[in-house]
Structure 1
Amino acid sequence: MKNIGFLSFGHWSPSPQSGTRSAADALLQSIDLAVAAEELGADGAYFRVHHFARQLASPFPLLAAVGARTKKIEIGTAVIDMRYENPLYMAEDAGAADLISGGRLQLGLSRGSPEQVIDGWRYFGYEPAEGETDADMGRRHAQVLLEVLKGKGFAEPNPRPMFPNPPGKLRLEPHSEGLRDRIWWGAGSNATAIWAAQMGMNLQSSTLKDDENGKPFHVQQAEQIRAYREAWKEAGHKREPRTSVSRSIFALVNDTDRMYFGAEANDRDQVGFIDKTRSIFGRGYAAEPDRLIEQLKQDEGIAEADTLLLTVPNQLGVDYNAHVIETILKEVAPALGWR
């Protein structure tokens, strides 16, 4: 059995060909798609965060709205760039969104990826400390967040407060019990996956990672997940960790599917360089259900993970994306033992 959800980047464009022509369209349709996905039986609604781009950015108003409109589906991010975040303010926002949803928040974090502007985090008021890289700063912000999410008091109370305080040092409010165990880290390498395990975070692995040994992407991803699980065991954490992978998967069952994705050329891995690091991009899948099932049986990365996030083409509208999700859930997942 696998948890199966969707992952939306929330693209929008004023182009007449786009089903999301404004930021309002992208946000409101994201809520509607989460509602539709829950009705179809999907397990998760996840959103990517990008700054300075025509995409979803500030996640917590959206997550709170989705939480208020749904009842069962997990709501999450994949991922939030921690170079841009004030971890204390973030803890308050995350606590509020989690309480609104009844404890369904699954918060994916990362040190970030190449952005739309140079050193965009500087515009948000953040600078790496002396001797730090921007990636170090992102990981440091994440560690602060993890600490305050424990709910322990750390701030000295005012002896003459406006309102009465509980005894002892004060914690951030609202505090949502259990959220600390639902924090994920988006790892682009084996080393950062191991670090995430040591920190007690769940693992998110997307369709991109450092090319560390020249093997096919899905094989490297499976190795990354196994290294993470071994590091988790060595760290001695009490709970079982979760792992997720994301994929572009389209079952071609009608003429519209074939028009959009029948000529997909993304049927093999690609290798390139990001920030001077050799990186491997995993293939996508688009085929009739029977052929698609056989292809997915060979994907070792999916086999290793307990959660699969389907990346959706959000600019094609809520109805079409609901169809994409439904087709995978009904035509593909049962044959693979995912349902």
Structure 2
Amino acid sequence: MTSRPLRKLGFLTIGLFDGDDPRPGHESTLEVIKLGEELGFDSAWLRHRHLQYGISSPIAVLAAASQRTSRIELGTAVIPLGWENPLRLAEDLATVDVLSGGRINPGVSVGPPMNWDSVKEPLYPDTADAEDFSYRRVERLLSFVRGEQVTDLSGAQGVVEVFSSRVEPHSPGLGARMWYGGASLRSAQWAGEHGMNFLTSSVVKAEEAEDFAEIQLSHVRTFRKHHPAGEQARVSQGLVVIPTDSASAGQKAKYSAYVEKRTPRTREPQGPARMLFSPDLLGSSAEIADRLQAHAAYREIDEVAFALPFSFEHADYVQILTDIATHLGPALGWRPAT
């Protein structure tokens, strides 16, 4: 089977910063997003990090990015809903979507927050044992974003106050741009059944096999099997790619060391959850394109959000993004947006 021509090309970044001087790191992320638009990328995505030196409030950063760009779509991959109140998050998402002109693509996931035993007291001091971290949390968010009734409170009260029974502002197209980030068959099926888009990344759960591409392919097919749109349902793949076409000798050495350090974890499932990591794709754009076109899951998708390595410098991201846009994307059949 041959690959579909790549229709949408995006990238994903964690947005690292110095804890003693956080502004330059955030500014670098905004500059990278602006560069992505100039290079013709279709989308830019932010990861979500709490109590770390990575972006903790991607919606706030995307609000800023929306005012420095005019075309590129802006996504989150992903917001862990265990940290969020779905109603308040729906208000923030809709507000930024309105400000961006309908360009926000929120990706979410469920489950208890990472390091739950350490964070539950400061995060939910009175309700930790009562919090529901199941798919129900996503269902609530979808209901709010899609404009369904929240309360029976509506109309004028007194002289000034006017209330709405739904979350405001309401952005009509946002509901169709909600993504679920899943790594298991159950998540793929649930996302399909609930009409969401599906984000599949460089990590999957080794449930039925131990070959990464085979597992990821089963997730893509399961999602589409259960989605009302079937084969037209949107799936985005997020592997780590590091093209070296224009990299300096020093950059190539750094990139090789980075990949070598991460490779051992890709050889077998990790931990009790049996999480399996995809190898990073390092080399010329022609070499990476060949590996992608041989990848069973990649052959069935036409959207990607390639993940940028987490610990590189701004100049490295400029080189990588430029090579992706000018060499790798075209080699995969993609054409830059105008």
Does the 8 Å contact 2:210/2:268 carry over to 1? no
Q: Runs of 4 or more off by more than 6 Å in structure 1?
A: none
Equivalent residue runs for 1:110-259 within 5 Å: 110-112=109-111, 115-116=114-115, 118=117, 120-125=119-124, 127=128, 129=130, 137-157=133-153, 160-163=157-160, 165=162, 170-232=165-227, 236=228, 240-253=232-245, 254=247, 255-259=249-253
Does the 8 Å contact 2:83/2:113 carry over to 1? no
Does the 8 Å contact 2:112/2:133 carry over to 1? no
Q: 1:238 deviation in Å?
A: 9.3
Does the 8 Å contact 2:106/2:177 carry over to 1? yes
Larger mean CA deviation between 138-147 and 288-297 belongs to 288-297
Q: 1:38 deviation in Å?
A: 0.4
Q: TM-score, normalised by structure 1?
A: 0.86
Q: Which secondary structure state, in structure 2, belongs to the residue aligned with residue 75 of structure 1?
A: strand
Q: 1:137 deviation in Å?
A: 1.6
Q: 1:305 deviation in Å?
A: 2.3
CA distance in 2, matches of 1:142, 1:48: 18
CA distance 1:195–1:122, change in 2 (3 Å)? farther
Match of 2:330 among 329, 334, 338: 334
Name the counterpart of 2:106: 107
Q: 1:244 deviation in Å?
A: 0.9
Q: 1:112 deviation in Å?
A: 4.7
Q: 1:39 deviation in Å?
A: 0.1
CA distance in 1, matches of 2:110, 2:254: 33
Name the counterpart of 1:11: 16
Name the counterpart of 2:41: 42
Name the counterpart of 2:302: 306
**Percentage of identical aligned residues:** 27
CA distance in 2, matches of 1:30, 1:38: 13
Backbone CA RMSD of aligned residues: 2.5
CA distance in 1, matches of 2:296, 2:195: 24
**Aligned partner of 1:251: which letter?**
P
Match of 1:277 among 273, 278, 283: 273
Q: 1:297 deviation in Å?
A: 1.8
CA distance in 2, matches of 1:142, 1:335: 37
For residues 94-130 of structure 1, the C-alpha deviation after alignment (integer angstroms, 9 at most, x for no partner) is 011101110000000001577256353553225354x
For residues 265-309 of structure 1, the C-alpha deviation after alignment (integer angstroms, 9 at most, x for no partner) is 2567333434x2111111111112332232222112222223211
CA distance in 1, matches of 2:194, 2:30: 31
Q: Which secondary structure state, in structure 2, belongs to the residue aligned with residue 12 of structure 1?
A: coil
Q: TM-score, normalised by structure 2?
A: 0.87
Q: Which secondary structure state, in structure 2, belongs to the residue aligned with residue 196 of structure 1?
A: helix
Q: Which secondary structure state, in structure 1, belongs to the residue aligned with residue 268 of structure 2?
A: strand
Does the 8 Å contact 2:213/2:296 carry over to 1? yes
**Aligned partner of 2:153: which letter?**
P
Structure 2: 5+ residue stretches without partners: 1-5
Q: 1:6 deviation in Å?
A: 1.1
**Aligned partner of 1:325: which letter?**
L
CA distance in 1, matches of 2:197, 2:307: 19
CA distance in 1, matches of 2:310, 2:263: 21
CA distance 1:161–1:305, change in 2 (3 Å)? farther
CA distance 1:147–1:230, change in 2 (3 Å)? same
Name the counterpart of 1:18: none
